[in-house]
Amino acid sequence: MRTLLRGGRLVDPATGHDGTADVLVDDGRVAAVGRGLDATGAEVVDCAGLVVCPGLVDLHVHLREPGREDAETIETGSRAAALGGYTAVCPMPNTDPVADNAGVVEMVAARGREVGLADLFPVGAITLGQKGEELAELGAMARSAARVDCFSDDGRPIRQARLLRLALEYARAFDAVVADHAEDASLTDGAQMHEGEVSAMLGLAGWPAAAEEMVVARDLLLAELTGGRLHLCHVSVGGAVELVRAAKARGVRVTAEAAPHHFSLTDEAARSYDPVFKVNPPLREKADVEAVRLGLADGTLDAIATDHAPHAREDKEVEWATAPPGMLGLETALAVTLTELVGDPTRGTPEPHPSGGGAPEREGSPALERGAPVVHSPSGYLDLATAVERLTAGPARCRRAPGHGGPVAPGAPANLAVFDPAVTWTVDRAKLASRARNTPFHGRELRGRVAHTLLRGAFTVRDGRAQR
Amino acid sequence: MNKHLLSAADLTAGDITRVLDTAAHLAKVTDRAIKKVPTLRGRTVCNLFFEDSTRTRISFELAAKRLSADVINFSAKGSSVSKGESLKDTAITLEAMGVDAIVIRHGASGAPWRLAEWVEAVVVNAGDGTHEHPTQALLDLYTMRQRFPGFDGLKVAIVGDVLHSRVARSNVLALTTMGAEVTLVAPPTLLPARVETWGAAVSYDLDAVLPKQDVVMMLRVQLERQRAGFFPSLREYARLYGLDGRRLDAMADHAIVMHPGPMNRGVEIAAEVADSLERSVIADQVANGISVRMALLYLLLGGPEVVAA
């Protein structure tokens, strides 16, 4: 089957290409890239006005299978991923049973292949049962059919520095990455939201920024000590961004991700007491949002990762303190990124922020004001190509995701996303493909929407509709 | 006024004055031989208490009954989860039964906000977690107004566990709205983050603050706070932040002592202070609670005509 994606703006961060080009797909692979390609025998898909890029890669999702199939399944989560432009997602191990052995990670990856809507690259647990006590069999997971090269106890920090040290060292044998959820649990016991003015007024126990920063600092020092590969999950505070920036400058092997909600929402959202805004790490303050944006702009933060965390309706329709933390992300990440970080193409030329420099004077993001309509800022934090990089090649750099993240070049698997960068739409939680409904963006107008997603040349999404 | 009473922040100075004036009017009912008016006849008020609070529940119950409302008490002690039924299901059940107002006391901050989203009935916050207790603030203001001509420039110290106190939050909001000058006095561990944004002065030194105050409001300190390490011992707490006879003598002659109850005698307040006939208005607070809650129910449920007193 031949498909010609004709006339789109091909943005391929792996090669640096950004310009109009046709992409010819044949037998699941990219056959040719260039202008005016011969369409003979190919189905032509008009991509004029659309962006063609590698399929998006999400380092951080919770698909809830096995264990909480009432909240999400590999099938519904994969469909949500495909609709979001993703061709590869990395499910976290906090399932029931925990993915701390070869059996579970293989089952997850195999179920993903069976569903066929996205490739799953499971993350294995660092410790048995994610209890933080003894190492799980990282080697068995690495050598399993799932070929796990990233380990995390996500949701739970590794409390003991010695255990993290050993994990970072041991994982070197497999060139694997250890991904940590940075939270000092002794400072966050009972915490419900970011500690600050809002938590104080709301009478909700606070999660101070220092609880993240001190663990990030510890983790960076241990990465330096061991030479191991460290990845930091969902960096949410300015101080942590600064620590990563400094560590990278001195050559520490660290990568880091940021979640869309951490660069688009603040702790003000908690004033509603609606637990749809409860997440861990929590929504922070405006200055942190700004720091995360600048971290993504200058590459301190390598990847945008959703931390897609579906929860059953009855688990979120409760008192704030009773609700589990977590938000949906797969179907909105690209649009939130384009809306919040990338200048509006209809409002003049985007001016990417010069990396490393101080923040220029700019309009604050109006979307930060809760309830305010989104007004597109004419200048962005990232240009479109950089934003695409943080969603594709960036995450693919943080761990192995063979065939994903580009390059879009002859011979490469045709894992592609095609999106309209200008169209606006309103998020409706009732229309999400995810089984859960806990999106914090319900009712928000966003810019940018996926038209097509191709996994190995086959449409998983076409004209905005999932193909299975 | 808003449809519900969730936070003292929702009340304007005009709203507060209206509640206090209405309460003064309704207080006369309490002085009669037959302590009842027909204002809310046929209306149903549900006291939905997820925490034990006998005094608050009884106060609301009496207030509703004196207005001739039908009262049901729904005691659902423990969290919604441990009980098995969710707050939402309880809300739907009460709604289906045609309840007009729900008075909710809940251990989780914000629970009344959730409830108000799920029901048509009027919701009154009778204390949520470590957040607010707006009717307590209103009865406190009523009690102050009995002793002082107005709130403008009135000096009020709120002393104790501000961090976990719903009484403190609601009082700071209502008092600052009315123009009072509030000083929060507590060990730094029991003050919330960025308390300086609250529009109140902050002090760690009770002795320095006391002589300047018109009102000294002592907050209950809970034993578990000591166990959680917020202060080293109850004895040290009492020594630094307890109101005893010596400190009472340091207060201005006209100054009054308040406490939302229940008291820990010998910890935040000495028995001799609590029982001081000249200074303590603690019993007045309890009595005034009924009048103020009558006024609130009356105003929120839209009593058909002004009460004939």
pLDDT at B306: 46
Task: Output the CA–CA distances (angstroms, integers) from residue B303 to A298, B57, B134, B142, in the order listed.
Answer: 62, 21, 21, 21
Question: What distances in angstroms separate CA A93 from CA A62, A127, A303, one per listed residue?
Answer: 8, 10, 20
Per mean pLDDT, which range of A118-122, A309-313, A355-359 is the poorest? A355-359
B chain contacts of residue A269, beta-carbon cutoff 8 Å: none
- Encoding tokens for residue A80? 């949500």
Helix (H/G/I), strand (E/B), else coil: B245: helix
Query: Would you kindly state where each structural domain of chain A is located, as residue ranges?
Result: 55-405
Which of A205, A314, A320 is nearest residue B86 as measured by Cβ atoms?
A314
- Domains of chain B with CATH codes: 8-132+287-300 (3.40.50.1370), 134-282 (3.40.50.1370)
> What b/e string do you get for A130-149 counting C-beta neighbours within 10 Å, with b at 16 or more?
bebeebbebbebbebebbbb
Interatomic CA distance for residues A299 and A255, integer angstroms: 10
Average pLDDT on A51-55 reads 98
A244, A251 Cβ separation under 8 angstroms? no
Measured in whole angstroms, the distance separating CA A273 from the mean position of its chain's CA atoms is: 25
Helix extents (H) in A94-148: 102-115, 138-142
Preceding peptide of B262 cis, ω within 30°? yes
Which residue in chain B is spatially nearest to A323 when comparing CA positions? Answer: B81
Residues 6 or more apart whose CB falls under 8 angstroms from that of B302 comprise none
Q: Is the pLDDT of residue A264 over 50?
A: yes
pLDDT in tens, A108-149: 999 999 999 999 999 999 999 999 999 999 999 999 999 999
Write down the H helix ranges in A259-359: 286-298, 313-316, 333-341
Q: Under a CB-based contact definition with an 8 Å cutoff, are residues A418 and A83 in contact?
A: no
Is A355 touching B (CB cutoff 8 A)? no
Which whole number is the average pLDDT over A430-452?
98
- Residues sharing a CB contact under 8 Å with residue B287, sequence separation 6 or more, in sequence order: B30
- Name the more confident of A80 and B77: A80
**pTM score of the predicted model:** 0.93
For residue B37, report the phi and psi dihedrals to the nearest 5 degrees: -125, 155
HSE value, Cβ hemisphere, 13 Å, CA-based, for A24: 15
Asked if B129's CB is within 8 angstroms of A318's CB, the reply is no
**Is there a contact between B106 and A322 if contact means CB atoms under 8 Å apart?**
no
What pLDDT, on a 0 to 100 scale, did the predictor assign at position A179?
Answer: 98
Q: Would you state the pLDDT for residue A347?
A: 57
pLDDT of residue B32: 86
The burial class, CB within 10 Å (0-12 / 13-18 / 19+), for A335 is: buried
Is the model's pLDDT at A412 over the cut of 60?
A: yes
Alpha helices, DSSP H only, in A265-367? 286-298, 313-316, 333-341
Q: Give the closest residue to B222 by CA, choosing from B156, B158, B165, B140.
A: B165
B56 counts as catalytic: yes
Q: Which helix (H) or strand (E) holds B215?
A: strand B215-218
Give residue B33's pLDDT.
Answer: 87
Model confidence band, residue A344 (pLDDT cutoffs 50, 70, 90)? confident
Using a CB–CB cut-off of 8 Å, the residues of B that contact A are 79-81, 86-88, 106, 108-111, 113-114, 117, 128-132, 164, 166, 169, 192-195, 197-198
Give pLDDT tens digits along chain B (309 positions). Answer: 899 999 999 999 999 999 999 999 999 988 888 888 999 999 999 999 999 888 999 999 999 999 999 999 988 765 444 556 789 999 999 999 999 999 999 999 999 999 999 999 999 999 999 999 999 999 999 999 999 999 999 999 999 999 999 999 999 999 999 999 999 999 999 999 999 999 999 999 999 999 999 999 999 998 888 889 999 999 999 999 999 999 999 999 999 999 999 999 999 999 999 999 999 999 999 999 999 999 999 999 985 444 444
Answer whether A320 sits within 8 Å of B114, measured CB to CB. Answer: yes
In chain A, what percentage of residues exceed pLDDT 70? 93
pLDDT at B25: 93
Predicted complex ipTM exceeds 0.90: yes
The secondary structure of residue A440, as a DSSP letter, is T
CATH architecture of A55-405: Alpha-Beta Barrel (3.20)
Query: What's chain B's length in residues?
Result: 309
Count other C-beta atoms under 10 Å from residue A407's C-beta. Answer: 17
- The pair of structure tokens assigned to B57 is 């529940």
List of chain A residues whose C-beta atoms are within 8 Å of the C-beta of residue B131: 202-204
**Residue A54 pLDDT > 50, yes or no?**
yes
Distance CA A358, CA A379 (A): 16
For residue A366, the model assigns a pLDDT of 37
Compute the distance between CA of residue B118 and CA of residue B100 in angstroms, rounded to an integer: 13
- Catalytic positions of A are 307
pLDDT value of residue A365: 41
